[in-house]
Structure 1
Amino acid sequence: MCKKMEIKNELKKYHINYTQEEILFTINETPGITLCELTKRMQLSKGSVSLCLKKLEEEKLIQKFGTFDDKRVFKIHPTKIGKDLYSKIKFIKIVKI
């Protein structure tokens, strides 16, 4: 099976799409990232990223934590499930032929 199909099958299990998977990767690589930082890095609108984050949160792949300084700012972290999915997909991307 090719890499793309394997990745697509993994994403189906969690009901997420390619953009959401890319956001999950960024969150795993920079835990504690904020929405503003994420939108700049992904070059997407805040609305688009917010919708993706909502879906990732519903699938229990990420968690948002408020900061002490500003209650409007959230730090985004992967959950155990999110870390596991990240590891599986990273393995497929790197190792599989």
Structure 2
Amino acid sequence: MTFKMAWALAAEHVDEWTGDDVIRAATVLSERVEAAVSESGMAADAQEHFLKTFLAPVQDGVLAAGKAAVEAGRDWSRAAGPLLVVLAPAA
């Protein structure tokens, strides 16, 4: 099933991706959020904290609950701190 993933980093970055592979979606999310965090000017220890505290749980959610939701034809969203991710079946 094809789905759309959109995410926002508060005051930093908004992006989206469309496809049918949840593993690829989680990888794209990780790559793009890590790039945005890296370019944000945060100190290295703050970046590490952000990735562990906010990105990792949301990425895990994409792979589990998010996948189950889109396979069932439902939307899914999860927020962690300043990161919000939404998955929705493509029309």
Question: When the two structures are superposed, what TM-score results if normalisation uses the length of structure 1?
Answer: 0.31
Larger radius of gyration: 1
Query: Taking CA–CA contacts closer than 8 Å with sequence separation of 6 or more, which of the two structures ends up with the larger relative contact order?
Result: 2
Higher helix share: 1
